[in-house]
Amino acid sequence: MRVNARLSPDLSQKLLQLEQATGKGTSELLREALTLYYQQWANSHNSTTLIQQSGLIGIGEADPDLSANYKQSLRFDDKNTPDR
């Protein structure tokens, strides 16, 4: 894919400094920058991170052994009725 982008004078200067300091070309620096940016974005958007950030984990209260004994805590009034 070919990209044509307009940069502010500040970003243009930063790009030139990076090119001179690293000896890399504009395309290579932009590829590396996009790769890093995508990795950061992907890490911050995985499902575990989003659930943790939502504050939903740990808000409920129940017996410590609920996962092993949940059937005793559930009401089965509708267990013989057709699915709705």
Distance CA 26, CA 45 (A): 28
Angle 29-35-41 from CA coordinates, rounded to 5°: 135
* 7 lies in some domain: no
* Each residue's pLDDT tens digit, 55-81: 888 788 888 888 888 888 777 666 655
* 31 lies in some domain: yes
Distance CA 77, CA 60 (A): 23
* Each residue's pLDDT tens digit, 19-30: 999 999 999 999
* 45 lies in some domain: yes
* 62 lies in some domain: no
Q: Is the pLDDT of residue 50 over 80?
A: no
| pLDDT at position 5 | 93
pTM for this structure? 0.56
CA distances from residue 49 to 53, 62, 80 in whole angstroms, order as listed: 6, 24, 39
> Two tokens at 64?
């410590």
* 23 lies in some domain: yes
* 44 lies in some domain: yes
For the chain, how many structural domains are there in total?
1
24: containing domain: 15-56
